[in-house]
Amino acid sequence: MTIRKILTEPNKILREKSLRVENVNKDIQQLMDDMLETLYAAPGIGLAAIQVGVAKRVIVMDISRSRNDIGRDEKEDKEPKNPMYFVNPEIVWKSEDKFTYEEGCLSVPNQFAEIDRPKQCHVRHLDYNGDPQELKAEGLLATCIQHEIDHLEGILFIDYLSKLKKEMIIKKLSKQTKESVERIVV
């Protein structure tokens, strides 16, 4: 397994629409293994393939590593890992009820904002072995899968914010990227 580089906004690749996977073969499983390792190393709770520069409809998640737990090393060691794999995920139903969660994103580092999304959703997808599954998700799990499916369409959570707020965040991130490039040059 290899830790891959996570792309950060602003980056045009993050805005690409990902393509359907025709066949869950060894290459796709290798991609999922790498993505999961990248997710745990970050650390984060969800990652879409486009975030490591691969425009395929593939997502890995592990919400047992939710933000409240990160930093508590002891708990992380004891808590069993619960990886979830989604290939070609499709939301087939979503509730009218909304749920608000303070979202972050590995591609939008250190930025958080409250986002409303349907509280429950049903997702049809293929699993790690290419078998069809349907997940009934609620709360954080529903938020996370909707956030990740947005990535497959080139959508980031900051797109739901006001134009002003979104521009402020992108400006901040552009500055961070510039600074890190300068640091490497020096």
61 by DSSP, 3-state: which? strand
Q: Where are the alpha helices (DSSP H) in the chain?
A: 26-41, 73-78, 140-152, 163-185
For Zn ion, which is the closer residue by CB, 53 or 130?
A: 53
Quote the CA–CA distance of 88 and 152 in Å, as a whole number.
Answer: 9
Region label for 41, one of left (φ > 0), alpha (ψ between -120 and 50) or beta (otherwise): alpha
Binding mask 102-141 for Zn ion (x = CB under 5 A): ---x------------------------------------
* The two three-digit tokens of residue 146, written as one number: 């909707």
Sign of the dihedral through C-alpha 28, 159, 62, 133: negative
Q: Which stretch binds Zn ion (CB under 5 A): 14-22, 61-69, 71-79, 100-108?
A: 100-108
Residue 152 binding Zn ion, by CB under 5 A: no
Residue from 37, 148, 153, 179 carrying the catalytic annotation? 148
Active site residue 79: no
Q: Which stretch binds Zn ion (CB under 5 A): 30-38, 62-70, 101-109, 174-182?
A: 101-109
We find the least distance from the C-beta atom of residue 26 to Zn ion, in angstroms, to be 26
Residues that bind Zn ion (CB under 5 A): 105
Catalytic positions are 148
